Amino acid sequence: MKKLIPLLILLFLFTGCSTDDQNGGHSVTINLSVSDEVKASFESDGRLYVFLNQNLQVEPMDQIWPYPGRMSQIFAINRTGISPDGNITLEPNDDWTKTADWTFANVPEGQYNIQILWDQDKSESRINAPGNLYSEKQKITITNSTEVDVTIDRAIAERELAESELLHLVDFKSDTLSAWWEKPVHLKASVLLPANYDASESYPIRYNVAGYGGRYTRVNNLVNSSDFIDWWRSDEAPRVINVFLDGEGPFGDSYQMDSENSGPYGHALIYELIPHIESEYRGTDTATTRFVDGCSTGGWVSLGLQLYYPDHFNGVFSYSPDAIEFENYQLINIYEDENAFINEFGYERPVMRSTVGEPMISLRDFIAYENALGDSDTYLNSGGQFSAHTALYSPRGENGLPKPLFHPTTGEIDREVAEHWKKYDFKIYAEENWSTLGPKLQDKIYIWMGDMDQFYLNPATRAFSEFLESTDQPASDAEVVFTPMAGHCEQFSHKTVLMQIQERLREIEQ
* pLDDT tens for each residue of 282-295: 999 999 999 999 99
Distance between alpha carbon 241 and the CA centroid of its chain, in Å?
25
Closest by Cα among 107, 118, 117 to 140: 107
> Residue 350: what residue type?
P
Alpha-carbon distance of 278 to 291, in angstroms, equals 13
Domain ranges of the chain: 4-155, 167-325+425-509, 327-423
The 3-state secondary structure of 21-45, one letter per residue: HHHCEECEEEEEEEEHHHHCCCCCC
pLDDT of residue 93: 60
Cis, bond preceding 402 (omega within 30 deg of 0):
no
User: What whole-number distance in Å separates Cα of residue 281 and Cα of residue 31?
Assistant: 53
User: What CATH topology corresponds to 167-325+425-509?
Assistant: Rossmann fold (3.40.50)
Q: Is 345 exposed, middle or buried (0-12, 13-18, 19+ CB in 10 A)?
A: exposed
Q: How far is CA 66 from CA 70, 103, 369, in A?
A: 8, 19, 7
Tell me phi and psi for residue 354, to 5 degrees.
Answer: -85, 170
pLDDT by residue for the chain (510 residues), tens digit each? 343 434 443 433 333 333 344 455 788 878 888 999 999 999 999 999 999 999 999 999 999 987 777 789 999 999 998 888 766 655 656 778 999 999 888 899 999 999 999 999 999 999 999 999 999 999 999 988 888 889 999 999 999 999 999 999 999 999 999 999 999 999 999 999 999 999 999 999 999 999 999 999 999 999 999 999 999 999 999 999 999 999 999 999 999 999 999 999 999 999 999 999 999 999 999 999 999 999 999 999 999 999 999 999 999 999 999 999 999 999 999 999 999 999 999 999 999 999 999 999 999 999 999 999 999 999 999 999 999 999 999 999 988 999 999 999 999 999 999 999 999 999 999 999 999 999 999 999 999 999 999 999 999 999 999 999 999 999 999 999 999 999 999 999 999 999 999 999 999 998
Q: Which amino acid is at 414?
A: D
For 474, the 3-state DSSP assignment is coil
Phi, psi at 500, each rounded to 5°: -65, -40
- Tell me what pLDDT residue 86 has: 62
- Look at residue 119 and give its three-state secondary structure: strand
Q: Is 370 helix (H, G, I), strand (E, B) or coil?
A: helix
| pLDDT for the residue 450 | 98
pTM (predicted TM-score): 0.94
Furthest-apart CA pair in the chain: how many Å? 80
Distance between CA atoms of 6 and 88, rounded to whole angstroms?
10
3-state secondary structure of 475: coil
pLDDT of res. 85: 78
Of 140, 76, 77, 133, the closest CA to residue 114 belongs to: 140
CA 10 – CA 91 distance, rounded (Å): 7
pLDDT of the residue at 11: 36
pLDDT given for residue 88 in this prediction: 60
